[in-house]
């Protein structure tokens, strides 16, 4: 293959050619050559999270870049699979195209498009269940990916169980269970072993994920938003302390808590900003 294939031509064909060269045992990059599915998987997860982060920040230029990074992960995995005679990128693209057509009979088939979003979701899940049955995934929870973020996987597991009736009927019961689990953890914190504390805390997070599902809240997105809010408000604490030439370790909890409340009030428009004072 001439070097022009790496510098000109359609974007996807060029990317596939670049990856083939990078993986070439004789002319490629030693780091790329030694990678495996397992070693690349963490990067795939990282890139997916960075896509979500760019969307959350509404940074569209960054989103374009991050989507490219995520596409590279698909190309990388497909190239390794091709080298092992498993499948290639074309098979990946064909497979997802076929899946989208099969899962949208109201668009590409003879079914009516006159359905509610809820009915379309139910139909989608029914089609996915039939696909799992075709892959001999007999268990209700079979096929829920182990590599998902833990909160997301918890919600997916609970959704699957709920389809066969294993679910609390109301949000009130979920909240009661959260209170019960939290109280048990606090009451036993001085007597539990480290392993027991680990397990009990996991149980509490699992029930909180269930509450998110009942409230139709994405717990991963909610926690990312909470992280961003904490980061933003703590940065304001640092800025206010810096006005006096101090840092957080020069302050104490009472003062920083008061500054936190001020930062919160400023965000809500309930406190004049620093420039007006």
Encoded tokens for 30: 């030693």
* Helix%, strand%, coil% for the chain, nearest 5: 70, 0, 30
Q: What is the pLDDT of residues 109-155, one digit of tens each?
A: 887 777 777 777 777 777 777 776 666 556 888 888 887 889 999 99
To the question of pTM greater than 0.85 for the whole model, the response is no
First to last CA, the chain: 67
More confident residue, 119 or 4: 119
Instruction: State the Cα torsion 204-205-209-214 to the nearest 10°.
Output: 20
pLDDT at 277 over 50: no
pLDDT-based confidence at residue 202 (cuts at 50, 70, 90): very high
Q: Which of 87-91, 144-148, 244-248 has the lowest mean pLDDT?
A: 144-148
User: Which residues lie below 8 Å from residue 92, measured CB to CB, with a gap of 6+?
Assistant: 74, 78
Q: Which fold has domain 139-217?
A: Helix Hairpins (1.10.287)
274: left (phi over 0), alpha (psi -120 to 50) or beta: alpha
User: Which residues lie below 8 Å from residue 30, measured CB to CB, with a gap of 6+?
Assistant: none
Q: What is the rounded average pLDDT of the residues 244-269?
A: 94
Long-range contacts: 107-116, Cβ < 8 Å, 24+?
none
In a 13 Å sphere around the CA of 125, the CA atoms on its Cβ side amount to 13
- What pLDDT does residue 272 have? 61
User: Which residues lie below 8 Å from residue 141, measured CB to CB, with a gap of 6+?
Assistant: 157, 160, 161
pLDDT at 253 over 80: yes
Q: What three-state secondary structure class fits 55?
A: helix
pLDDT-based confidence at residue 40 (cuts at 50, 70, 90): very high
pLDDT at 180 over 90: yes
Q: What is the pLDDT of residues 69-85, one digit of tens each?
A: 999 999 999 999 999 99
Question: In the chain, what are the domain boundaries?
Answer: 4-102, 139-217, 221-276
pLDDT at 10 over 90: no
Answer whether 124's CB lies under 8 Å from 103's CB: yes
Q: What is the pLDDT of residues 98-112, one digit of tens each?
A: 999 988 888 888 877
CATH 3.30.499.10 fits 4-102, yes or no: no
- What pLDDT does residue 136 have? 59
pLDDT at 274 over 60: no
pLDDT at 276 over 50: no
pLDDT-based confidence at residue 273 (cuts at 50, 70, 90): low
Q: What is the rounded average pLDDT of the residues 207-232?
A: 93
Identical fold between 4-102 and 139-217: yes
- What pLDDT does residue 4 have? 66
More confident residue, 123 or 234: 234
Q: Measured between alpha carbons, how far is 89 from 77 in angstroms, rounded to an integer?
A: 9
Q: Which of 41-55, 57-71, 139-153, 234-248 has the lowest mean pLDDT?
A: 139-153
More confident residue, 49 or 89: 89
Average pLDDT value over all residues in the chain: 89
């Amino acid at each position: 293959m001439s070097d022009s294939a790496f510098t000109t031509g359609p974007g996807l064909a060029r990317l596939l050619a670049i990856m083939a060269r990078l993986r070439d045992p004789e002319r490629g990059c030693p780091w790329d050559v030694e990678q495996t599915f397992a070693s690349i998987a963490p990067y795939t997860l990282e890139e997916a999270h960075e896509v979500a982060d760019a969307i959350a920040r509404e940074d569209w230029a960054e989103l374009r870049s991050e989507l490219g990074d995520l596409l590279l992960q698909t190309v990388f995995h497909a190239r390794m699979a091709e080298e092992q005679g498993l499948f290639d990128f074309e098979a990946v693209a064909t497979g997802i195209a076929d899946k989208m057509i099969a899962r949208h009979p109201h668009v590409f088939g003879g079914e009516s498009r006159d359905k509610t979003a809820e009915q379309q979701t139910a139909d989608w899940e029914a089609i996915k269940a039939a696909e799992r049955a075709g892959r001999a995934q007999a268990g209700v929870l079979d096929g829920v990916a182990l590599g998902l973020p833990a909160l997301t996987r918890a919600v997916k597991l609970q959704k699957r169980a709920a389809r066969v009736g294993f679910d609390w009927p109301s949000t009130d019961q979920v909240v009661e269970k959260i209170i019960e689990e939290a109280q048990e953890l606090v009451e036993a914190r001085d007597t539990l072993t480290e392993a027991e504390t680990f397990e009990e805390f996991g149980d509490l997070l699992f029930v909180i994920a269930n509450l998110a599902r009942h409230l139709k809240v994405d717990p991963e997105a909610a926690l990312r938003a909470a992280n961003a809010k904490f980061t933003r408000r703590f940065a304001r604490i640092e800025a206010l302390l810096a006005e006096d030439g101090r840092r957080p370790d020069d302050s104490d909890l009472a003062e920083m808590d008061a500054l936190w409340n001020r930062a919160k009030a400023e965000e809500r428009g309930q406190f004049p900003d620093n420039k007006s004072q």
